Amino acid sequence: MESVQGQLLIAGPKLLDPNFWRTVVLVVDHTEEGALGLVLNRPSQTTVREAVSEPDLLPELDETLYVGGPVQPSALIVLAQFEHPGDAALLAFDDVGVLPAGEGRDAPLRRGRAFAGHAGWGPGQLDGELERGDWILDPARHEDAFTDEPLSLWQTVLTRKGGSYALVARMPPDPSVN
């Protein structure tokens, strides 16, 4: 097993699961025990302030709450860019990781984004999906994790990869009607 922690999982055109259709997932952790990721391009209609009971523990209260995935949708995860990467509970790449729960939430941050739920895979599950071609891999960048244009992120990262991936980015949602 080769870890894809810190990579983007870009939903391939054949991945039709409604939880992941045309998503871009940041892999926060990937070990032999499984994987944890956050869907970066699913903003909700709710702000962080509207969704949390303890708003003083979170950054960016008036920002949009994102749907991080189908697992534990009532749990809140904060993805942050840390001034000191060692302050992260889990470090995905560079200085970007997950804010720790409780007392560690006062770590100095450059920016943060809140997610309801996450994507999760059991042992070997993500590896199987990668072998099957469900996902396209690309190294994560800061501008992906904190994009101002989440609804176009899928097309943006595929276009950036170039070649046949750029063609996939221009595919209509249902190619059969073309």
pLDDT tens for 31-51 read: 999 999 999 999 999 988 888
For residues 83 and 66, give the distance between their C-alpha atoms in angstroms, rounded to a whole number: 23
Annotation: CATH topology of 7-177: VC0467-like (3.40.1740)
- What's residue 56's pLDDT? 57
- What's residue 125's pLDDT? 96
Residue of 3, 16, 22 whose CA lies nearest to 136: 22
Query: In the chain, what percentage of residues exceed pLDDT 90?
Result: 70
The answer to whether 135 and 11 have CB atoms below 8 angstroms apart is yes
DSSP state of 100: P
pLDDT tens for 53-93 read: 665 555 566 789 999 999 999 888 999 999 999 999 999 99
Distance spanning both ends of the chain, measured CA to CA: 39
* 97-101: average pLDDT: 85
Half-sphere exposure of 114 (CA within 13 A, CB side): 25
User: Which residue matches tokens 């994560």?
Assistant: 140
User: Which residue matches tokens 């039709």?
Assistant: 16
The region of weakest confidence among 21-25, 121-125, 172-176 is: 172-176
pTM flag (> 0.85): yes
Instruction: Say which residue, 49 or 94, is predicted with more confidence.
Output: 94
Q: Where are the domains of the chain?
A: 7-177
